[in-house]
Amino acid sequence: MLILESKLKGKDSQFSLVNEAIRTVQFVRNKALRFWMEGNSKSQYDLNKYCAVLAKEFEWAKKLNSQARQAAAERAWSAIARFFDNCKKSIPGKKGYPKFQKDNRSVEYKTTGWKLSDDRKSITFTDGFGIGSFKLLGSRDLNFYSIDQIKRVRIVRRADGYYCQFCIAVDREVTTDPTGNALGIDLGLKYFLAGSDGCTVENPRCLRKSEQALKRLQRQISRKAKGSKNRIKARKRLAKKHLQISRQRKDFVVKTARALILSSDLLAYENLQVRNMVKNHSLAKSISDASWGMFVQWLGYFGKVFGKVVVPVPPQFTSQECANCGHRVPKTLSTRTHTCPKCGYSECRDVNAARVILQRGLKVASEQYPRAVGNLTLGESLVPTLSNESCSKQTISMNQESPSL
């Protein structure tokens, strides 16, 4: 599935109708969840049938396209199914019991309720709200895909405007020449990652670098009278700053993951439990700012696209085990150099951990992909691959592509 995104250009009256549709989606989703809590639903199809009941009971809910109402009910069932999966897997802690939504920001249509123009540069929404036509702004050309390939159209409200996302059913596969290299990476906070070849990538710290600007914008909000227009404007400025930080973080993660995948045929990384790690209040902000979860998700996506082997390994004792002899050397977070008393091997603790991860990854991959591991070498530096020049020369832009819906 490929996600293409364009910004919507229209009138303020049209965006007011979009907001009304978004509120209706939230209403349908919450009513479907209440219907399940009362024991009236046992499957997703029961919630889809309940959408027709809501359309008859509430006249304004009938304005929303029938398939859009079903998509809203599917959101409720997605939360329910995730809760049941967590219970079956016996995940420790809270299982994620479904909650009522209060801040919905999108409305999703399936194959009806919208129509593209002949030149694919504008879109018209044809449901009962009378939203009308919008001009599509962006560099992505929809003429490469047929209308039948567009399975869903989503309107998303953000701090800087409204966007239209097109979910296109296409199998994306890119053939690349094999490099013959294998790489292990250790994710950290001092360095964003350290490679088994000794190369490191600096942590961008997007949130840390913008904290002063965020504090200033938050002070401006506190000085405005509650309910005033100036307070609303100040809130929008703060929201735009947060949006800018999230985009900076995603841009860095996507480019780094793509470059790493293209530089090697096998990539091993430690399967960190970020959910548990953020419970450490001293490091929670830095861990969240590093976006390890998003980075791992993009690694898996690019691995499938470019046909590379991506292997997660258990993170236990990767920082303490010696990459040369396997002896465990206990150390605190402040100890940045690994020195083995048994064999005398000395190396940066992050690079040593990356080499341990690579050794474990090769062992796992040799059992699952014996042919892919046979001709790999442990070598070459990532510096030329991760440079800004090479990132800017990538033939396929991933700025508006998502690994999942």
In a domain, 37, yes or no: yes
- For residue 389, CA distances in Å to 139, 299, 386 come to 21, 21, 8
In a domain, 49, yes or no: yes
Task: Count CB atoms within 10 A of the CB of residue 170.
Answer: 10
Chain segment 317-342, per-residue pLDDT in tens:
888 888 888 888 888 888 888 888 88
In a domain, 214, yes or no: no
Domain shared by 157 and 194, yes or no: no
Residue 400 DSSP label: T
Q: What residues contact residue 205 under an 8 Å CB cut-off, 6+ apart?
A: 286, 289
Q: What residues contact residue 342 under an 8 Å CB cut-off, 6+ apart?
A: 322, 325, 327
**DSSP reduced 3-state for 167:** strand
In a domain, 244, yes or no: no
Domain shared by 270 and 296, yes or no: yes
Q: Please report the pLDDT score of residue 372 as a whole number.
A: 58
Please answer whether residues 268 and 358 qualify as being in contact, where contact means their C-beta atoms are separated by less than 8 angstroms. Answer: yes
Which tokens is 405 given? Answer: 């819906």
- For residue 228, CA distances in Å to 159, 221, 377 come to 18, 10, 64
Domain shared by 34 and 155, yes or no: yes
- What's the rounded Cα separation, in Å, for the pair 225 and 231? 6
In a domain, 405, yes or no: no
Please answer whether residues 187 and 357 qualify as being in contact, where contact means their C-beta atoms are separated by less than 8 angstroms. Answer: no
Domain shared by 113 and 199, yes or no: no
Chain segment 297-322, per-residue pLDDT in tens:
999 999 999 988 899 998 888 888 88
Domain shared by 197 and 270, yes or no: yes
Domain shared by 289 and 147, yes or no: no
Q: State the residue range of the domain holding 69.
A: 2-168
Chain segment 339-353, per-residue pLDDT in tens:
888 888 888 888 888
Chain segment 23-36, per-residue pLDDT in tens:
999 999 999 999 99
Reported as a pLDDT band with limits 50, 70 and 90, residue 180 is: confident
Domain shared by 119 and 189, yes or no: no
Domain shared by 134 and 23, yes or no: yes
Q: How many domains does the chain have?
A: 2
- What's the rounded Cα separation, in Å, for the pair 333 and 248? 28
Domain boundary among 120, 146, 168: 168
pTM for the full model? 0.83
- Residue 379: is its pLDDT beyond 50? no
- Residue 134: is its pLDDT beyond 90? yes
In a domain, 243, yes or no: no
